[in-house]
Amino acid sequence: MRLKTIIGTALLAGTCALPASAQIGEQRHNFSVGINGGINLNSVSFSPRVRQNNLMGINGGLTARYISEKYFSMICGAQIELNFSQHGWDEFYQDYPELQYTRKMNYIEIPFLAHLAFGKDRGLQFFVHAGPQIGFFLSDSYTIGGDWDNYTGITVEQHDKAVDNKFDYGITGGAGVELRTKIGHFLVEGRYYYAYNEYPMDYRYQVILGDVYMQNGKKQEAYDTYKKVLAAEPDNPMALFSLASYYEQTGQKELFEQQMDTLLLNRKVPSDTKVNVMRQFIVQSEQEGKDSTQVIGLFDRMIQMDMDDVQIPMLYAQYLLSKGMEAQSIPVLEQVVQIDPTNKAARMTLLGSAIRKNDYEQVIKICEPGIEATPDALEFYFYLVIAYNQAEHWDDVLEVSRKALEHVTPESDKQMVSDFYTIIGDVYHTKKLMKEAYAAYDSALVYNPSNIGALNNYAYYLSVERRDLDKAEEMSYKTVKAAPNNATYLDTYAWILFEKGNYAEARIYIDDAIKNTKPEEESSVVFEHCGDIYFMTGDVEGALKYWKKALELGTESKTLKQKIEKKKYIAE
């Protein structure tokens, strides 16, 4: 128990007069007695950790001081006190403000202090105190509020624990100022107390002692130490884990597994502690070159319990992914988002797996609850829109895109916002709402002037309508410069040049488009464009070759068959 004690004002009535002057090393025989009073600010260390506010308690009693000599300017002496003092702790849980627990413990304390002072015999002095302190427990009391039974993962064993050690000891020290007058001495002091005899709930040091025994080959002493701690505190996680390690190191595999289950399947052990234990166990397993079977078995038994905390399944999923076991991680991650639908990391990992499989139905199942649970996460809207787009659910694409744009802030990813507008423009084009489509593309380019998808589609649809061809050429040229081997962008630029009558230049770019088209990506539109451009440059045979190729690939062109029959270009 670490106790911070601030001693307030103290009155010392001197029974012996101080001499008017002093020599170096001059002997003094001044004895004073008085009263003191103040406050304590207390905190108690626990394992596992318990969150606390400082608890204020009262402190007061009798003080006796003996001054023995003055050496140079330093006044030397000794001081003893007999005090009543209140200690304890006040628990604080930020996430559960309705829970309240305060424990107060009353002690009689006797500090034995060295007293060193600097200053005038009459007037103001600065002093320091240091020395041992003992205490005797008198009584305790507590106040409790809230329904603690409805909360898991919170340490409560300390609530019902009696104070086993009635005797307390430690060291204390402080500093202050003293005003010495004819009527008495008045002082103000701040003091800190460190208890060697920690509060009985803190068995960390005993467990550490057991670990030291193990490291030095004293296995029986280690075992006895762990069992002693567990006899007093059966759910102490440090002792449970150390005892499990003892069983493993002594070759008692069955007892080791039982002990790990006792620790990790114990509902009284907080999730934070279980996570730390599993991390240590994983590191130890990796260092010793063991396979993952034992680790996975432990995790499997843990996640079968009813959980309201995602730390364990998240750690399990991360472990599986680190082992390349993506398929096995999916149900664990699904458990995470079931417990905590707002867990973005888990949902994004599930989403990534579905995208890699091109499983757009699964993308929809992941993203629809995602936008409900985390409405500000634009990523879930975006991939939901992509999935709806693949399924040709155009109205759903528009609805989700508009919802996403309602959550755009100055900090949002501008490229993603631009992509939303691009998708909206594409859907409006599909619906033949060209005015709305062009407005959406304009918005896309406001957020990202280099959005080559928006630039290409905007430029191509303008060329198909044979309008604003200079603007279309400027936009399309940007896409060709950004991606010079992209067949789609090369075809768009070639077609705009064709519509502007630049046939020779158009042929250069359409040839590049054909050259960069992969067999599985061949498009009847590109080959028909190539035939049209070849015809306008005087190459009728070349034109027929590409028109026929376009026909073989399947086309919706209204004039392609006529072009082949009449061996001439026919505009739509």
Residue in the structure block whose two tokens are 């659910």: 393
Burial grade of 154 (CB within 10 A; 0-12, 13-18, 19 or more): middle
Supply φ then ψ for residue 105, to 5 degrees: -125, 130
Inter-residue contact 160 to 106 (CB < 8 Å): no
Contact, 414 vs 433, CB < 8 A?
Answer: no
Sign of CA dihedral 225, 229, 231, 232: positive
Task: Write down the pLDDT at residue 21.
Answer: 39
Strand partners, 284: none
pLDDT tens digits, one per residue of 482-524 = 999 999 999 999 999 999 999 999 999 999 999 999 988 899 9
Q: What is the pLDDT of residue 153?
A: 61
Which residues sit opposite 279 in a β-bridge?
none
Give pTM, 2 decimals: 0.61
User: At how many degrees (to 10) do helices 452-464 and 487-499 cross?
Assistant: 30
- List per-residue pLDDT tens for the chain, 572 residues long: 334 334 343 334 333 333 333 444 566 778 889 898 888 888 777 766 788 888 898 999 999 999 888 777 788 899 999 999 998 889 888 777 888 899 999 999 999 999 998 887 778 889 999 999 988 889 999 898 887 777 666 777 777 777 766 778 888 999 999 888 888 788 888 888 877 655 444 577 788 888 888 888 999 999 999 998 888 888 888 888 899 889 988 999 889 888 888 888 888 788 888 888 888 888 888 888 888 888 998 899 888 887 778 999 999 999 999 999 999 999 999 999 999 999 999 999 999 999 999 999 999 999 999 999 999 999 999 999 999 999 999 999 999 999 999 999 999 999 999 999 999 999 999 999 999 999 999 999 999 999 999 999 999 999 999 999 999 999 999 999 999 999 999 999 999 999 999 999 999 999 999 999 998 889 999 999 999 999 999 999 999 999 999 999 888 888 999 989 999 989 88
- Residue 27 confidence (pLDDT): 67
| Predicted local distance difference test score (pLDDT) of residue 75 | 87
Cis omega before residue 48 (within 30°)?
yes
> Which residues have a Cβ under 8 Å from the Cβ of 365 and sit 6 or more positions away?
none
Cβ neighbours for 326, distance < 8 A, ≥ 6 positions apart: 320, 353
Residue 491, Cβ density class (10 Å: 0-12 exposed, 13-18 middle, ≥19 buried): buried
Name residue 74's beta-bridge partners: 71, 118
Structure tokens at 104: 């107060």
Measured from the Cβ of residue 66, the count of other Cβ atoms closer than 10 Å reads: 15
Single-letter code of the amino acid located at 312: I
Which runs of consecutive H residues, i.e. helices, occur in 250-359?
253-264, 271-287, 293-303, 311-322, 326-339, 344-356
HSE of 302 in the Cβ direction (CA atoms, 13 Å)?
31
Give the phi and the psi of residue 117 in degrees, each rounded to 5.
Answer: -130, 155
CA distance 529 to 506: 10
Residues 6+ positions from 400 with CB-CB distance below 8 Å: 371, 381, 384, 385, 388
Please report where in the chains the tokens 């003055």 appear, as a residue.
Answer: 70
3-state secondary structure of 299: helix
Rounded to an integer, what is the distance from CA 40 to the centroid of its chain? 35
Q: Which of 237, 271, 20 is nearest to 123 (CA)?
A: 20
What pLDDT score does 487 carry?
94
Q: Characterize the bridge pairing of strands 55-71 and 52-53.
A: unpaired
